[in-house]
Each structure stands twice: as structure tokens, then as C-alpha cells.
Structure 1
Amino acid sequence: MTSIRTNLISEPHLTQFLFADTRLAPLWALIRIYVGYEWLVAGWGKVTNPGGVWVGEQAGVAVSGFLKGALTKTTGDHPDVQGWYAWFIQNVALPNASVFSYMVAYGEILIGLALILGLFTGLAAFFGGVLNANFLLAGAVSSNPVLFILATWLVLGWRVAGYWGLVDSHRHEMS
């Protein structure tokens, strides 16, 4: 029988303080709730849109418009949208705009609720970051860089970011 020797690498004191010290739980809760609120409001606006361009009879109209706008940003010396992402837009996202429309609208709501409630904080922040990255890759700046940075921090600090939340099983494991 072969045994595998494992070595644990100690965590630097600064990162341990920032990402694992429960004294920072109030700060992380504020960041988590702020990011969650932003996602919830964005998703709710899409789901309740009276024109039904996100969910409903005309689902996909808004996504198609957004994606077609992104494709106009693929030219020049420094395009806002890279060629490989333009391929993804043309061949995957646009043909399935209706599906992506529902995924974005309800995904934003689910991410927002999970972050506000402190439910699966790291996972919710990760998927929020994935959405932000996709919006950025499509050339939409707006609040996406800030939310992407905050989502990344929440992923790093998930233990403390979700400390005051619904899922608290990790509380007993921390020392």
C-alpha cells in the first residue's frame, strides 16, 4: 500500500485576517448584502419588465439586442469584444437568446437572494462573477468591474462573508 504524504501550506497572517477572521464578519456582510442587492434589483427589473423582453412572450429580444451591440465592438486595433467571444456570441448565445434571457434574469435573482441571505455565499459570488465577466467580455462596463472585484473578494472570503447567514455549518470548523 502506498501512502501519500501531504503538506499543508500555512496561510499568511494578513490573508487569514482578511478572509478567515470572524471579526471582519460585519464588513463582509455589508459587502455581501450590497452585491446581492445589486443583483436582485437587476434581475427583478428583468423579470417584471412589462414588455416581456426578458421573460415572457418576447423573451430573448433584450439579450439579442445586447449581443448584437456587442458584435459591433469587435473591430479596430483594440476591440472591446475579442474574436473568440464574438464567435461564442454568434454561434451559441444568439441562436439561444431566449434561453440565455431566462438564465440571466432568474440567475441574477437567485444570486442576489443567496448573497443577501448568506446562502452558499462563495458559490453565489462565483456565479455573479461569471455573469460580470461575461458582461465585460461583451463590452459592457457600467458597474461590472466593481461588482466583479467584489464578487472575487467574496469568493476569497466566503467563510467570513457567509458567517452571518443562513448556512453556518462552517462556524464550528473555524478556529
Structure 2
Amino acid sequence: MTTLPTSPAPATLREPAISRLLFGDPRLAPLWLILRVYVGYEWLIAGWGKITNPAGVWVGEKAGTAVSGFLTGALAKTGGDHPDVQGWYGWFLQHVALPNAAAFSYLVAYGEVLVGVALIVGLFTGIAAFFGGVMNASYLLAGTVSTNPLLFILATWLVLGWRVAGWWGLDRWVLARFGVSEHPAAAPAELASPRRPGDAVR
């Protein structure tokens, strides 16, 4: 009788204790709250300023005006031996973003507000931080520094710590609905009534 070869058990990688402490321990939730609200506030005021701009160059009749000026300035940085804006990104700005400046204007303005609100209330924190980081990277690729390096670093940390970053926020309840974390108001039955020696195993 031929014995079929058994496949080896899949390898598992253990999470280091320092990683569990930093990115998965609710005791550090207050620290993550400070980082999350700071980044969210920066995005919220930036986006709100664009939406409420009285000239309407971001949202309104003149939507796209500000974006067109920004993109034109970025394209001017594509020349030289060591350009601030790489050629491939310059191609994207010229052939994709600039012809659709009005759409990108709305996308940026409302995207910044949505990311800001989501981070402040702690709703889908990891996803919000990811899209915030994408916007930071877009600004950096376009040759704009400002606060983008700092916010990009903090956004990366928030993505890594998504399990606990929204613990003091709506994620504490929302993520439990998706089975990502335990609902704070209900402990598992196994923890509520620990098994005693001699109990039947089910």
C-alpha cells in the first residue's frame, strides 16, 4: 500500500513582544489617541480651509484653479540632473491630473476632510491613515515638503498600530462587529467561566 506524503505544517511567525506592546496593547491607547487626533486635526483644518475658500478655487465655480497652479509648479521641477519631481510622476501629473484638475480638486478637498474626521473619531483608523499617507506621498512626489514628511511617518505608525490606534474611538465597537477585536462590553464565555479541573471537554 502506497503511503501518500504528508505536506509539512505551514510555518508561523511569532510576533515579538515589543511589537505586541506597541501595536496591539490597549494600555497604550492614550498615546495612539494623541497621535491619531493630531494627524486628524491637521487633515481636517487643511481640507476645511479648501472647502470654505471664499474664492472657490478648490470647490465651486473655479474648482481646479488651485490644483492647476500647484501641478504647473510641480511640472516645473521635473528638469535638471536631480529633479525634485521624477519623470514618471511628472508624466502622471501632466497627462492624468492636470486635464482633470477640477475632479482632483474636489477629491483632495473632501478627501482631506474625510480622513481628518475618521482619524479624530477613530473610525477605520488604519484605512484612514493609509489614505492620508497616500496624500502625503503625493505631495512629496510633487516636490512639496511642508509637514508632509512628519505626517507621512505618523500615518505609517497609525497603519501599523491600527488594532489599538482606534481603541479609544469608534473602532473599539466597529471592529468588533467584523470579528477583528473583542467587543468591550462582552467577554467570551470561556473567560467568563473558566474551566475547572475535571470538567468535561466539549
Residues 140-169 of structure 1 deviation map (CA, whole Å, 9 limit, x = unaligned)? 000000000000000000111011111221
Is 1:18 paired with 2:22?
A: yes
Distance 2:10 2:123 in 1: 31
Gaps of 5+ in 1: none
Distance 2:76 2:147 in 1: 21
Change in 2 beyond 3 A, CA 1:68/1:4: farther
Deviation of 1:75 after TM superposition, in Å, equals 1.3
Kept in 2: contact 1:122–1:155 (CA 8 A) = yes
The residue number in structure 1 matching 2:125 is: 121
For CA contacts below 8 A with separation 6 or more, give which structure has more relative contact order.
1
Distance 1:142 1:4 in 2: 51
Change in 2 beyond 3 A, CA 1:75/1:30: same
The residue number in structure 1 matching 2:162 is: 158
The residue number in structure 2 matching 1:132 is: 136
Distance 2:81 2:38 in 1: 37
Deviation of 1:77 after TM superposition, in Å, equals 1.9
Residues 3-55 of structure 1 deviation map (CA, whole Å, 9 limit, x = unaligned)? 89433211111111111111110000100000000000000000000000000
Deviation of 1:65 after TM superposition, in Å, equals 0.3
The residue type equivalent to 2:124 in the other structure is F
Kept in 2: contact 1:36–1:114 (CA 8 A) = yes
Greater shift in the superposed pair: 10-19 or 131-140 = 10-19
Percent identity, please: 70
Larger helix percent: 1
- TM superposition score normalised by structure 2: 0.82
Residues 96-124 of structure 1 deviation map (CA, whole Å, 9 limit, x = unaligned)? 00000000000000000000000000000
Gaps of 5+ in 2: 1-5, 185-202
- TM superposition score normalised by structure 1: 0.95
The residue type equivalent to 2:182 in the other structure is H
Distance 1:118 1:58 in 2: 33
1:1-175 aligned at under 5 Å gives the runs: 5-168=9-172, 169=176, 170-172=180-182
Distance 2:55 2:21 in 1: 48
The structure 1 segments of at least 4 consecutive aligned residues displaced by more than 2 Å after TM superposition are 2-8
Secondary structure at 1:70's aligned position in 2?
A: helix
Deviation of 1:171 after TM superposition, in Å, equals 3.9
